[in-house]
Amino acid sequence: MALQISPSILSADFARLAEELDRIADADWAHVDVMDNHFVPNLTLGAPVVEALVKVSPIPVDTHLMIEDPDRWAPAYADAGARSVTFHAEAARAPVRLARELRALGVRAGLGLKPATPIEPYLDLLPEFDMILVMTVEPGFGGQPFLDVCLPKIRRTREAIASSGLDVWLQVDGGVSEDTIERCADAGADVFVAGSAVYGADDAAGQIKRLRELAAAACAH
């Protein structure tokens, strides 16, 4: 499986976002967290800002919608130019219908799960998604410590994907750093969201390379 690094701009300088996107040009994706202060206790940005970011980003934009009523709002992020749109299982009323609508708009459809949400109820739906996002912190704020209790869920999800024979990516988001990325990769993740670990480094490009190397080494084992 190809390993991908998706730095979260939640840890970037919001007053200099175009420049901050240039800092992560060596990554695979720019991860944009959309929060509505209802589904999670934080408020970030919406579709108009995502559209502006897409125009200046050197890499594809991966949107993570931590919002209520994604059935209504998620397609707007596809229209805004995001290449991947992930919504939460806990918020969607009709996740299959929404995933199909997103795919019809030409974007990758992802399903996000909070730490306490089991993967098992969604295993039969794997063919409907391009990516499963396992949150490794409680969604809402960057810089939280990694929750090791999520590793068994990552492993079970990877086993289910492998058994299905599907090309579904497995993303982890929350507390991913040099200290934790190897555990995530060993459990089966292949897309890694890292915010403060990248943007807190003096050399963001070097840190992206380092994270990629650590994940690859864990997979090689």
Q: If you write DSSP's letter for every residue of 110-149 in order, what string do you get?
A: EEEE-TTS-SGGGGGGGGG-SEEEEESS-TT-SSPPP-GG
Instruction: Name the active-site residue from 36, 62, 130, 173.
Output: 173
- Can you list the positions of beta strands (E) in the chain? 4-7, 30-35, 61-66, 84-88, 108-113, 131-135, 169-173, 191-194
**DSSP letter assigned to residue 172:** E
Q: How far is CA 71 from CA 91, 97, 128, in A?
A: 9, 8, 15
First to last CA, the chain: 14
Catalytic entry in 28, 33, 62, 130: 33
**Tokens 């795919």 map to which residue?**
103
Nearest to 85 by CA among 69, 103, 58, 72: 103
Mark whether 173 is an active-site residue.
yes
Catalytic residues: 33, 173
